[in-house]
Chains A and B, each alone.
Chain A
Amino acid sequence: MGKITDDDRKRMARCCCKQCGGPLKMKVVVYDPYGGHDVEMFCEHCHKIEYGTEKEIYNLAARFIDNYQYNYFMDMVEDERSEQMNTAKLCEIIGWVFSELGLIGEDGIIKDKLPEFDI
């Protein structure tokens, strides 16, 4: 990513990795020890460049996977990794729905618009 903005900092504080639910941090990704690097949002646990998702969305996705044993990646061995990939996939879908319904703003989930349920 380019320069770190206030929105990036807020997003890091508010959001989590859509695979593992872990925290995001800004990381200098060094691709050349003699002067090549970029700053990217990163999940240390998954060791990947990660833009993340709202925590509420992650919780919904994880609950769905848990309840329904949802598996989009049929050709993969069912393990922790495939479960995380499925969670990430669902986060994208739920994120899109929330966005289409106007439930996400610049500062994340607009809680006033949500019905009262436990996420």
Chain B
Amino acid sequence: MITAEEITIRRGVRQVVHDVSWKIGANERWILFGLNGCGKTTLLRALAGYLGVNKGSIQIDGVPLNKENKTEWRIRSGFVSSSFFNQCYRTEPVLDIVLSGLYGHLGVAGRAGAAEIIKAKALLRELGLGSKHQYPFDTLSSGQQQKVLLARALIHEPDMLILDEPFTGLDILGRMQVQELLNEWMEKDGRSMISVTHHCDEITPAYTHAALMKNGKLFETGFIQDVFDSESVSAFLEKSVDVSWHNGQLKIDIPDYR
């Protein structure tokens, strides 16, 4: 579905992503795991069509992603990143933000019809935000904002979800609501997902693959059970760790973390 070929992304003189090659196929659900500042968010922005690359290429079903087709890809994929959208949205009404997902732009541009509005409101209701659709984005809590962004990503039933720490800021009920929506979305065949997380409890066998990212490079990629084993994670963290799976839940113990 999406292929990154030796992509490099610079921030001024600093290379944030170095020669990353990555292939994500249909029905694959990836965890992207890495320490703070390793370039995960930047890589996701590029894969979501919101940031150009300095070198290499991103291809969608074999077609290079470029200025002409980036909007089309943004409509086919759903991107959730509070660190990204918080730079774009302040006082925009929640409903406009959700509807903007249909067009691959930041703004709704007034094109939504009754059916789209009803769908957006239904999604917001499912996420417990039924009474908030007219409110400005900046009057919502961070967890509520995260739900709005998820509704924006899901409204057009995308083929792929690109999620940058999707559970950040959510309370226990919010996490369940979001997980339920994601599970529902994943039921359909052919859908793929990339999700960034720092939390082991979010890494479950529902994900099929994992990528470990370090210093702007993909350190290891593969099936989730192969990537999250003691040997790989110890090499990745440069510390001896014990990795185990209990009832489908990943556990990483770092006996000597100092």
Contact = CB atoms under 8 A, between A and B. Distances in A.
Contacts of A48: 90-92, 136
B10 interface: yes
A34 B134 contact: no
B87 A31 contact: yes
B109 A41 contact: yes
Interface residues of B, number: 28
Contacts of B90: 47-48
B107 A47 contact: no
A50 B10 CA distance: 32
Given A40-B107, A47-B91, A73-B134, A32 B10 contact: no
Contacts of A41: 107, 109
Contacts of A64: none
A119 to B, nearest CB: 20
A97 interface: no
B158 to A, nearest CB: 18
A46 B136 CA distance: 11
B93 interface: yes
B45 A29 contact: no
Contacts of B10: 34
A36 B11 CA distance: 12
Contacts of B106: 29, 31, 38, 40, 49
Contacts of B45: 32, 36
Instruction: Name the residue in B84, B90, B103, B105 with the highest tally of chain A Cβ atoms < 10 Å from its Cβ.
Output: B105
A111 to B, nearest CB: 21
A49 B134 CA distance: 15
Interface residues on A, range: 20 to 34
Nearest to A85: B134
Instruction: Name the residue in A29, A36, A46 with the highest tally of chain B Cβ atoms < 10 Å from its Cβ.
Output: A36
22 contacts: A1-B109, A2-B105, A31-B50, A31-B88, A32-B50, A32-B51, A34-B51, A35-B51, A35-B52, A36-B45, A40-B107, A48-B90, A48-B91, A49-B96, A49-B106, A50-B107, A51-B108, A51-B109, A51-B110, A52-B110, A73-B134, A85-B135
Interface of A: 1-2, 29, 31-32, 34-36, 38, 40-41, 46-52, 72-73, 81, 85, 88-89
Interface of B: 9-12, 45, 50-52, 71, 84, 87-93, 96, 103, 105-110, 134-136
Given A34-B11, A51-B96, 17 more contacts: A1-B107, A29-B88, A31-B50, A31-B84, A31-B87, A32-B45, A34-B10, A34-B12, A36-B52, A38-B106, A48-B91, A49-B92, A50-B92, A50-B107, A73-B134, A85-B136, A88-B93
User: A-B pairs with the 6 shortest C-beta distances?
Assistant: A51-B110, A49-B107, A40-B107, A48-B91, A36-B51, A31-B87
